[in-house]
Amino acid sequence: MPELRDEPVEPEVVSSELVYSGHVWDVRSETVRFGDGEITRQFVDHPGAAAVVAIDDEERVVLIQQYRHPIRHRDWEIPAGLLDVAGEPPIETARRELAEEVDLVAESLEPLVSIFTTPGGNDEIIHVFLARGLSAAPSAYEREDEEADMRLERVPLTEVIDGVLAGRFRNGILATGVLAAAERLRRS
């Protein structure tokens, strides 16, 4: 049996309309030829993002908690940010977000996993990296909006995994990232 994998498909786009242009992302409506007919779908057009599972020398994960309006929660997350700088590779976005969100730099930063967050509703892809050898960034960043009251904690990796499995941490990027990091570390 061949190895299973996601397969890209490029159906003919019959029409594409910008329904809403937003500050961070847009909403599009597209009609494509698919099979014997046409289908129309609306979706969030997203620039993508990079996220970082930063694990210190004591096997603690750097977590941030911030307010997320759509879910009306302060949820626990890993540092992450949009791929919103033209030409910036995802690994550099991850490095930048680690410094901007938690004032850290990493001695090593390696690709961990890339995921489509909600393939039925948006085209967002998140590239998650594993950061090790953490130290303080040369300068602290000024935080605004949701980041202004951000809480930062270093939590043992096993406790974060317990929190994911118990449903206390429901952020999908955090869950995928820490589970992948734990497996990567177990295999090394």
d(CA 79, CA 57): 18
SS3 content of the chain, % helix, strand, coil (to 5): 25, 45, 30
On whether the CB atoms of residues 116 and 125 are closer than 8 A, the answer is yes
d(CA 113, CA 66): 23
DSSP-assigned states of every residue in 19-74? EEE-SS-EEEEEEEEETTEEEEEEEEE---EEEEEEB-TTSEEEEEEEEEGGGTEE
**Element holding 1 (H helix, E strand):** none
Q: Which residues are catalytic?
A: 147
